[in-house]
Structure 1
Amino acid sequence: MSPMEVLTKNNDRLFVFTDLDDTLFASVKGQVSEHMIPSTVGVNGQPYAYSSVQQQKLLNVMIKSNAIIIPVTGRRSSSFLNCKLPAITNTDYAIVSHGAVILDNKHQLLDEWKVFLEQQFSLQLWHNKLVELYEKLSHYFEVINSGVRVRLIIDHGISTYLCLKISKDYADVKKIVQVNDYLESTLPKEMFLHANGRNFAILPPYARKKVAVDFLKKMMNVGELDTVFAMGDSHSDLPFMQDSDFLIVPQQAQIFKQE
C-alpha cells in the first residue's frame, strides 16, 4: 500500500476542540440581527447569547466534515447545558468548568477523568484551599463594599474554581484594574487568575483546559494521521490551542488585545 493510500485509509478523523462564549456565540448589545439565532438561554429561560451568520457557517462546516466536536468551556455543567446548539450539547465529551470537569455523552462526570483527578491531585486538599480563599476574599470585598460577588463553584462534586464578578454599578475601568491587581497580589502558589472584563476566575492546577484536552487526546488515541482544529478567543484557550494542527481565532478575540 502506497503512503497516499495509507493516508486516505486512516485519515478519517477530524477533531475540533472549541471554546464557546465569544467563539461560537456571544451576548449582543443593542438590536439583534434577524440572521442571528439564539444559542444559549439565561436562568430565566430567555435568550442570552446568539450565533452570528459567520459563526453558524463555521459550525456547519465542522458538522458537514463529520468532525468530532468537543466543547472546551469555562462554563460549569448547568450553564453549559443552557446551550441550544445540538452540535455542541450532543457530543461524546464536553470539557467544562475551565477544564476541571469532563462530561460523557450523558452529561455525567467521565469515570476515567474522575480516576485521573484522584490519582494526580489531592482534591480534598484543594477543596480546603479554595474554601479558605473564598472566605478570605468574601470578607475582604464585603468590608470595602466593592460590589464584588465571590462564589465557590462546585461541579459534579468537584470544587472547581472561585468565580468573582463586579456588579455593573461598580464596574468601571478603575475598579476592574483594582480588583485584578489585588487578586494577583494575593493569589496562592499554583493557582491561576483568568480575567475577562468584570469577571474573574481563580483556578486550581487541575482546572486547566489544556490538561483536560490532553487527557481526551490520549484517551481517544489521537495520532499523527488525525487532524486537530482548536478554536478559542481568550488567553486561557491558547495553551490547548497551540498543540493543535490549526488554530481558529475570532477577529475580536482577547488573544489579540494587549493586557
Structure 2
Amino acid sequence: MEMLIKQTSRLFVFTDLDDTLFNSLKKTGSDLSIVSTTDSQGKAQGYSSLQQQKLLNIFEAANGIFIPVTGRRTSSFLNCSLPTIKYTPYAVVSHGAVILDRNRRLLDEWHTFIDGEFNLAVWKSELVRTFNHLHDHFTALDNGVRVRLIVDQGLTAYICVKVSKNDYSKDKAKDVDSFLKSILLDDMLLHSNGRNFAILPPYARKEIAVKYIKNKLKIGEHDTVFSIGDSNSDLPFMRESDFLIAPNGSQILARE
C-alpha cells in the first residue's frame, strides 16, 4: 500500500449536477436532504440526499479534485451551493460550450481553441437562423413549447427547447424530438431528456471540454479519474475516466 501511495498522485472527479448530485425534494424524499441549489430568486430548487452527500464525502476524504460538467449555463451553475462544487479549479457549463476558470470567468484559451477549431462566427449565424425557425414554428402551433437561444459568457452556446409542465406528455415529447431531429444540421447534436431538449453546435460537447481540461492539468497514467452522470449525453465524457458512476434509476440505466 505504501508503494501504491507513493506512485499515485491525484484523484479527479468529473461530475454532472442535476439528477446526479441533487434532485427535487420530491425525488430525494428525505428529511436528511440538504439544499444544494436555488433558483434566480434564491428559493430552494435542488436537494442532495443522504446518499448523494455520502458520495461527495468519500471523494472529499480522498482529496479528490472535483470538476463540474453540466448543461447549466453560468448564471444557473453559480446558484449551486455545495462547497465541493462552488470551489473547483474549472467548471464545464452550457453542455460543454464554456469552460470557467477558478474565478468563474470564461477561460480565454478555451475560447481561442474552439474558435480555431469550429469558427464561432459561422456557428453563431447558424444557431440564430435555427432559433428563428424554431421560434416561428412553435409560436404558430401555440402548443406550450418554449424556445430560447442561450448565450453564455458572450458565446452563443446552444438552443434550449422545453415543453411546459402543463402541456407535457410522452407523445408530445416524441413529436418535438422528431421535429427537432428533422431540422438539425449535420454537425449539430440533439440532447433529449424528458420535456427538455438542447440543440448543440459541435463545440458544445462535454467530452471535448473534459479532454481539454485533462490535457491542461496533465492528467496521466498515475492519476485516477472518476466520472459521475445520469443521462445518455453524459456517457461520452464519462468514458474519459477510469471508473463510471451512475445513480440508480437514471436515464443511463433505463431500459426501453
TM bin (shorter chain): over 0.9
- Quote the offset at 1:27 in angstroms: 1.3
Deviations 1:190-222, CA, capped at 9 Å, x for gaps: 100001111100000000000000000011111
- Quote the offset at 1:184 in angstroms: 1.1
Moved over 3 A (4+): 4-8
Paired letter, 2:123:
W
Q: Alignment partner for residue 8 of structure 1, among 5, 10, 18?
A: 5
Mapped partners of 1:18, 1:256: distance in 2: 17
1:236 match: secondary structure: helix
Q: Alignment partner for residue 142 of structure 2, among 139, 142, 145?
A: 145
- Quote the offset at 1:8 in angstroms: 3.2
Q: Alignment partner for residue 184 of structure 2, among 187, 205, 208?
A: 187
CA contact (8 A) 1:72 1:209 kept: yes
Work out whether 1:172 is the aligned partner of 2:169.
Answer: yes
Aligned positions, number: 256
> TM-score under structure 2 normalisation?
0.96
Mapped partners of 2:201, 2:167: distance in 1: 27
- Quote the offset at 1:187 in angstroms: 1.3
- Quote the offset at 1:96 in angstroms: 0.4
Matches of residues 10-25 of structure 1 in structure 2 within 5 Å? 10-25=7-22
| Range 176-185 or range 71-80, more displaced | 176-185
CA contact (8 A) 1:234 1:253 kept: yes
The runs of 5 or more residues in structure 2 that have no matched partner are none
1:184 match: secondary structure: helix
Mapped partners of 2:249, 2:172: distance in 1: 23
- 1:32 to 1:142, Cα distance in 2 relative to 1, 3 A: same
Q: How big is the alpha-carbon RMSD for the aligned residues of Structure 1 and Structure 2? A: 1.5
Paired letter, 1:12:
S
- Quote the offset at 1:46 in angstroms: 0.8
CA contact (8 A) 2:227 2:241 kept: yes
Deviations 1:77-121, CA, capped at 9 Å, x for gaps: 000000010110110000000000000110001122112112111
Deviations 1:23-44, CA, capped at 9 Å, x for gaps: 1001133895210000000122
Aligned to 1:231: 228
Paired letter, 1:23:
T
Mapped partners of 1:6, 1:64: distance in 2: 20
- Quote the offset at 1:45 in angstroms: 1.0
2:99 match: secondary structure: strand
Q: Alignment partner for residue 115 of structure 2, among 111, 114, 118?
A: 118
Paired letter, 1:225:
H
Mapped partners of 1:30, 1:59: distance in 2: 18
Work out whether 1:28 is the aligned partner of 2:25.
Answer: yes
- Quote the offset at 1:10 in angstroms: 3.8
Matches of residues 66-81 of structure 1 in structure 2 within 5 Å? 66-81=63-78
Aligned to 1:58: 55
Mapped partners of 1:195, 1:72: distance in 2: 17
Aligned to 1:212: 209
The runs of 5 or more residues in structure 1 that have no matched partner are none
- Quote the offset at 1:258 in angstroms: 3.7
State percent identity of aligned pairs. Answer: 55
Deviations 1:131-171, CA, capped at 9 Å, x for gaps: 00000000000111111110000000110000011111211
Matches of residues 78-97 of structure 1 in structure 2 within 5 Å? 78-97=75-94
1:250 match: secondary structure: coil
CA contact (8 A) 1:138 1:150 kept: yes
> TM-score under structure 1 normalisation?
0.95
1:149 match: secondary structure: strand
